[in-house]
Structure 1
Amino acid sequence: MYYFIVNPNSRSGKGALIWKGLEGILNERNVEYKTFFTEYRGHAVLLSESITSYAAPETPVTLIAVGGDGTIQEVLSGVRDLSYITFGYIPTGSGNDFCRGMKLPAEPGEALDLILSGCRPHPMDVPVLTCGTGSSHFAISCGIGFDAGVCHEVSVTPMKKVLNRIGLGKLVYLFVALKQLLFLKPSPMTLVMDDDNVQQFSKVYFTAVMNQKYEGGGFKFCPNASPSDGYLDVIVVDSLSKPKVLCCLPTAFFGKHTIFHGIHIFRCKKIDIHSDLALPVHKDGESAGILKEFSVSIGAAQVRMIS
């Protein structure tokens, strides 16, 4: 039995149409499945929790997220014990950083073929983001500062829907990034990694904690990140002039930004981030609020990922 959690509003409403085509394939092949549609932000968390509540060694669950990168984050956050879950993903969003990092098909029909192929799943780390008393999973990255500010604004700007309709959705990230960079005030930050490695910075544009190599629509911020090595990769952009940040960003598409002075890369299993200023925070491109501090750690269990 396959359980599909579908975001029909992904890709500016095209998600429902894409799913209709996929459902035809499932019915044609006589696949046993159940479908659950999200109706509002956060709904996938509740659906996932309900579907997987009885998962156990003798009754494992195959759970498939159909949507954008944010849908993955919600679906994984609803799973109480990842040990008994086989996870698959069909991309119907516009960012597709998860597909890049996991080398998954970007075309929905090909992604469904992979899921139904019976290939052996591979283990994937699922980090945990903790803010105060609340926590959630993510699959790609979380971050504070510039990258999160871009994610926050992109999620609410009507320009994204307009550009998505004409196939130019990625341009909205460029427009918003330029605006955010212009008005951003860098903040002093302190990072405490694995409890004893303390790093202090004076003018941080952003800090991103990566489970994958890519975020933000293809920026290869942590070129050596692996989603299955049991480590978090961390990038800090500090004490650069804004023109230099602007010059540096395009090189990040190719992972060449690491040569710039002011780009710092770390690896750890746990990190506590403290910012002097309250700044936007994201998890897989979705808002996690405006915060001064939060923690990230590698989850206790890996999920079996169809890849």
Structure 2
Amino acid sequence: MGGIWQLIKAKPSKGYILLDRTRKVEFNHMYFVSAHIHPSEGGGFYFAPEADPGDGKLEICVASHSSKLRLIPMLIRSRLPRFVKRKGVRVYECREARIHMDRPAPIHTDGEICRFQSDLEIQCIEKKIRVIV
């Protein structure tokens, strides 16, 4: 429910992501950005179902759409572990990303909220942390 409430309060922002310092992708109505090394976050939301914690890559999920009402069903469907195409949502793969938004917006990294940010740089350093599951 927290994600839906956060989406209701969010205002769209123009912005861009720079992937691996080479590919720039611009957006006109970004609502949120999340970066992942794991397929799910925040109690089972699958924003990056293809993410692999061992491949040294990030999955960057961008929710960008002109209507919040169309993004709410996306949040509900993201509870499914299989990949379902979601209108208004794009997922990009990279080793590092620079995120810029014209106004501060919620940025999530593997389920952890990094507060509201307008600029963020993130990278995945392969095999730096060992996790025993």
DSSP 3-state at the match of 2:78: helix
- Which structure has greater strand proportion? 2
Alpha-carbon distance between aligned partners in 2 of 1:286 and 1:248, rounded to the nearest angstrom:
20
Does the C-alpha gap of structure 1 residues 200 and 243 become closer, same or farther in structure 2, counting only changes over 3 Å? same
Alpha-carbon distance between aligned partners in 2 of 1:287 and 1:246, rounded to the nearest angstrom:
19
Does the C-alpha gap of structure 1 residues 274 and 306 become closer, same or farther in structure 2, counting only changes over 3 Å? same
Alpha-carbon distance between aligned partners in 2 of 1:278 and 1:213, rounded to the nearest angstrom:
25
Please, what is the CA RMSD of the aligned residues? Answer: 2.0
Is this contact kept in 1: 2:16–2:99, CA < 8 A? yes
User: Could you tell me the percent identity over the aligned residues?
Assistant: 28
Does the C-alpha gap of structure 1 residues 190 and 220 become closer, same or farther in structure 2, counting only changes over 3 Å? same
Is this contact kept in 2: 1:207–1:237, CA < 8 A? yes
Deviation at 1:285, TM superposition (A): 4.4
Deviation at 1:265, TM superposition (A): 1.1
Equivalent residue, structure 2, for 1:230: 56
Alpha-carbon distance between aligned partners in 2 of 1:205 and 1:262, rounded to the nearest angstrom:
10
Larger relative contact order (Cα-Cα within 8 Å, sequence gap ≥ 6)? 2
Equivalent residue, structure 2, for 1:27: none
> What is the aligned residue count?
133
- Structure 2, unaligned stretches of length 5 or more? none
Does the C-alpha gap of structure 1 residues 209 and 285 become closer, same or farther in structure 2, counting only changes over 3 Å? closer
Q: Please point out which of 164, 179, 186 is paired with 2:5.
A: 179
Does the C-alpha gap of structure 1 residues 263 and 300 become closer, same or farther in structure 2, counting only changes over 3 Å? closer
Alpha-carbon distance between aligned partners in 1 of 2:127 and 2:58, rounded to the nearest angstrom:
14
Does the C-alpha gap of structure 1 residues 257 and 300 become closer, same or farther in structure 2, counting only changes over 3 Å? closer
Equivalent residue, structure 2, for 1:262: 88
- Which structure has greater helix proportion? 1
Alpha-carbon distance between aligned partners in 2 of 1:217 and 1:235, rounded to the nearest angstrom:
17
Deviation at 1:287, TM superposition (A): 4.6
Q: What amino acid is the match of 1:230?
A: G
Does the C-alpha gap of structure 1 residues 223 and 289 become closer, same or farther in structure 2, counting only changes over 3 Å? closer
Alpha-carbon distance between aligned partners in 2 of 1:212 and 1:238, rounded to the nearest angstrom:
21
Q: TM-score, normalised by structure 1?
A: 0.40
Alpha-carbon distance between aligned partners in 1 of 2:76 and 2:113, rounded to the nearest angstrom:
24
Q: What amino acid is the match of 1:189?
A: G
Deviation by residue 1:43-76 (Cα, 9 ceiling, x = unmatched): xxxxxxxxxxxxxxxxxxxxxxxxxxxxxxxxxx
Equivalent residue, structure 2, for 1:219: 45
Does the C-alpha gap of structure 1 residues 244 and 298 become closer, same or farther in structure 2, counting only changes over 3 Å? same
Does the C-alpha gap of structure 1 residues 286 and 235 become closer, same or farther in structure 2, counting only changes over 3 Å? closer
Deviation by residue 1:155-203 (Cα, 9 ceiling, x = unmatched): xxxxxxxxxxxxxxxxxxx1x3333222210111200001111000110
Instruction: Name the larger-Rg structure.
Output: 1
Deviation by residue 1:259-298 (Cα, 9 ceiling, x = unmatched): 2322111100010000100223344544534321010111
